Amino acid sequence: MILLGLTGSIGMGKSETAKMFRALGVPVWDADAAVHALYAEGGAAVAPIGAAFPGTVSAGAVDRQALTRAIAGDPAAWRMLETIVHPLVGAGQAAFLAAAREGGHGLVVLDIPLLFETGGERRVDYVAVVSAPADLQRQRVLERPGMTADKLDEILKKQVPDADKRERADFIVPTDQGLEVARAHVRQIIATLGHSPPPRRAERRPQTPVEA
């Protein structure tokens, strides 16, 4: 089964692109949705986060703003949160992949916003980057409720630049030319990986020399 990592900076149209893969029958695992489910009422992360960070759970769910305040500027707190959340996310992803294999799917998409930032590209076979010109990206994001130019600049500082993502991608899905153009690129990716896929990323990595 082929694992395709789908990523893109804020405002590039990644969520819409993920919908296109789903509409064409490709299972998609959404990292953001997985975390939201863990934080929601009844989510597996609620109790351990509440125990580790008192005051961050309200009405049976993690209060994300309270959690942000609790860990702000505290690297040790960030690491503690990661030790709680990452294994749960990993378990959910593993269950998704097992179900996809059981269902006979030859291709799945892992929708991970911070794929390159977290080194996740090493755990997939190919990477598709969703991209658009910077001025259009900025316009899209600033139209979101509560978003400001300063907030956007802070977010972009934490993300790998779009040009670098494009350079490291196996496929690029442009989202500045209309939905049909983007959809055509998605179809082409599916066709390529289904019929004549290029070497997987693991096969293209330099091999560590064997010492004599």
pLDDT digits (tens, 9 = 90+) for 188-202: 999 999 988 888 888
**Stretch(es) of the chain classified as CATH 3.40.50.300:** 1-27+107-203
pLDDT category of residue 204 using cuts at 50, 70 and 90: confident
Q: What is this structure's pTM? A: 0.88
In words, the CATH class of domain 1-27+107-203 is alpha beta
| DSSP structure string for the chain | -EEEEEE--TTS-HHHHHHHHHHTT--EEEHHHHHHHHHSTT-TTHHHHHHHSTT-EETTEE-HHHHHHHHTT-HHHHHHHHHHHHHHHHHHHHHHHHHHHHTT-SEEEEE-TTTTTTTGGGGSSEEEEEE--HHHHHHHHHTSTT--HHHHHHHHHTS--HHHHHHH-SEEEE-SS-HHHHHHHHHHHHHHHHHSPPPPHHHHSPPPPPP-
